Amino acid sequence: MANRIAAGEVVERPASVVKEFVENSIDAGAAHVSVQIEGGGTRLIRVLDDGEGMDQDDILLSLERHATSKLTDEGQLSAIATLGFRGEALPSIASVSRMTITSRPAGAELGARVEIRHGRVLKVHEMGCAKGTVLEVRDLFGNMPARKKFLKTAPTELAHIEEVVKNYALAYPRIGFVYQVDEREVFSVSAMADDLEARVRAVGGRRAANAPLVRLDEAADGVRVHGYLVPPDEMLATAGRLRLFVNGRVIRERMVVHALAEGLRGFLMKGARPAGALFIEVPPASVDVNVHPTKQEVRFQRPTLVHQLVSLAAREGMMRYQRALQDELFVVPAPKVRRPDPSSPPVVSASVEEPPSTWAQPELAFAPLTSREPAPAAKPVASAPVPAAAPAAVPAGCPVGSDALRPIGQLLGTYILCEGEEGLVVIDQHAAHERLLFEEMKRQYAAGAVARQALLFPKVIECDREEKRLLARFAAEISALGVDIEPFGGDSYVVKAVPAIVGHLAAEVIVRDILTQLESGGSGAGSKTEAVLAGMACKAAIKGGQSLQPEEISALLRRMREAEIFSHCPHGRPVVKQFTVTDIKRWFHRG
């Protein structure tokens, strides 16, 4: 009875059985694990491994409740290094199915097989078998019709099982996995290399095979956070999921998701969630994994450290991603020098002379690309010119100032087409400019120097109660964002200056937009002001459908090349897409 009650907690569905068996195989030191399913998991679940195996006595012992070979003394419970430790899985699963355990330890001549039905041992016998263990479960929940009724359709149960196998395949790149359904192979990953990136790509399927990935890796105070995220635009796809692991154990942890989202702030579209595989390694003694029967939740001893490290890893990962993409797009690969000759002059690629463009000059960073009507009755207030971003560090050996991107023209007045080193490069002009302006605005805001534009004729606006509340609550932020607004008696306020970047818009529109963003733009002052800045950048950026002069295009490319961040707009949309020569040739069956 106790076993069946435990089964209620541990064994929810076929995927729970697969999880417990695969964990046991991993704990047994297996190099290969094979999972075979029939009938959505209710007909057969079979997990084979080549781990250390069990002799006949061990098999019988493993069926005893709370019998585990993994804890030898009390102290180990506070520093769990194996996946299993509760000794509940086998007896629980055995009590609600027909189970067979076949196993042989290395060195033993013969193996043993034990057959159990609904918790009762029916047969024990010796037999020849491969080293390792085969666990088989037939007719799961056969003696629990109520529970069996609650199982979903076979495809749903199979999806859960596949998720379990993929999770462990990700967590243990040194182990080979084969997953078969009804004798058909669904996926397999070889045990050859302990290569996480290759495993991430293999598990991610065809889409992840060649996709760019954002690599994360940060460590401090004995904690390491590493893994791979898909780029922000892929996070928009609802299919993308985040797989989280702590010390090789799959977990769900909102704190970590929150930390990732924070590190990705300014990249994640509203409502989008980070996607990828993230691994957190902490000393076993600093995490409590024994807080949930299925061990999916953990408690960190130092949650703040983990949170900070995860955020940092995401931020740094995105910065590395920028550098790598910049190199790929803008840097002409150094020519291969076969015969080093110190007397020959160094190879210097000619820098393309940039036609004069006001837009490219830092102090006029916000000058519109095309002549817009100057905002009426407005004059710029002298504000300290804000230094443009320091040019990105160019790796040694790469020619500085060479233009690897040659603009071809504009498509639909919206996309800039370029010939690049690898093929065709398509740039979303609005998204690109929006990101550049957003970064510039963030710098100005951080320096307390958002460029303002005084209104020659201050504008009086009326505010309702909610707006007045927001104006009071965020007075400091609003002023720092470049708006001078003062009470003018009653419900009236007078606006005397607006941020220069949106100086072409009506003061009233600017103020109301800012209030909306401050109210709804995420949680925390940082994400709210960034939402405001992103809104301004969006309004000020060149639009889709706006035709650009060649010099404007080259100015935009130049600024992208020198920017710290350029790959995605502040809402997570991609700025650049590439079609490689290989892709293009394939379209035309040429190679």
Q: In terms of residues, how long is the chain?
A: 591
Question: For residues 11-30, which are near ligand ADP according to CB under 6 A?
Answer: 20, 24-25, 28
Rounded to the nearest whole angstrom, what is the least distance from the CB of residue 243 to ligand ADP in the complex? 22
The residue among 41 and 84 lying less far from Mg ion, judged by its C-beta, is 84
Q: Does 87 bind ligand ADP (CB under 6 A)?
A: yes
The residue among 28 and 272 lying less far from ligand ADP, judged by its C-beta, is 28
Candidates 78-86, 113-121, 191-199, 213-221; binding stretch for ligand ADP (CB under 6 A): 78-86
Nearest residue to the partner ligand ADP, using Cβ: 84
CA distance 369 to 283: 55
The residue to which tokens 């679940």 are assigned: 45
Question: For residues 109-148, which are near ligand ADP according to CB under 6 A?
Answer: 133
Partners of 362 in the beta sheet?
none
Contact 279, 171 (CB under 8 A): yes
Candidates 62-70, 121-129, 325-333, 382-390; binding stretch for ligand ADP (CB under 6 A): 62-70
CA distance 112 to 315: 53
What angle, 0 to 180 degrees and rounded to 10, lies between the N-to-C axes of helices 550-562 and 303-330?
140
Rounded to the nearest whole angstrom, what is the least distance from the CB of residue 93 to Mg ion in the complex? 10
The residue among 51 and 407 lying less far from ligand ADP, judged by its C-beta, is 51
CA atoms within 13 A on the CB side of 105: 8
Which partner in ligand ADP, Mg ion, none is near 52 (CB below 5 to 8 A by kind)? Answer: ligand ADP
Candidates 68-76, 231-239, 423-431, 572-580; binding stretch for ligand ADP (CB under 6 A): 68-76
Query: 227: left (phi > 0), else alpha (psi -120 to 50), else beta?
Result: left
Those residues whose C-beta lies under 8 Å from the C-beta of residue 497, and which sit 6 or more positions away, are 381, 452, 453, 454, 455, 482, 483, 484
The burial class, CB within 10 Å (0-12 / 13-18 / 19+), for 340 is exposed
CA distance 301 to 305: 9
Partners of 312 in the beta sheet?
none
- Map residue 247 onto helix, strand or coil: coil
Number of residues counted as binding ligand ADP (CB under 6 A): 21
Rounded to the nearest whole angstrom, what is the least distance from the CB of residue 86 to Mg ion in the complex? 7
Q: Does 554 bind Mg ion (CB under 5 A)?
A: no
Rounded to the nearest whole angstrom, what is the least distance from the CB of residue 125 to ligand ADP in the complex? 19
Rounded to the nearest whole angstrom, what is the least distance from the CB of residue 163 to ligand ADP in the complex? 20
CA distance 532 to 558: 26
Question: For residues 10-29, which are near Mg ion according to CB under 5 A?
Answer: 24
The 10 Å CB-count burial string (b at 16+, else e) for 245-275 is bbbbbbbebeebbebbbbbbbbbbbeebbbb
The residue among 24 and 56 lying less far from Mg ion, judged by its C-beta, is 24
Which partner in ligand ADP, Mg ion, none is near 86 (CB below 5 to 8 A by kind)? Answer: ligand ADP
Binding mask 25-54 for ligand ADP (x = CB under 6 A): x--x--------------------x-xxxx
Q: Which of 40, 51, 84, 111 binds Mg ion (CB under 5 A)?
A: 84
The residue among 49 and 530 lying less far from ligand ADP, judged by its C-beta, is 49
Q: Does 70 bind ligand ADP (CB under 6 A)?
A: yes
Contact 225, 326 (CB under 8 A): no
Q: Does 84 bind ligand ADP (CB under 6 A)?
A: yes
Rounded to the nearest whole angstrom, what is the least distance from the CB of residue 168 to Mg ion in the complex? 13
**Residue type for position 150:** F
Partners of 33 in the beta sheet?
49, 177
What is the binding site for Mg ion (CB under 5 A)? 24, 84, 89
What is the binding site for ligand ADP (CB under 6 A)? 20, 24-25, 28, 49, 51-54, 62, 68-70, 84-90, 133
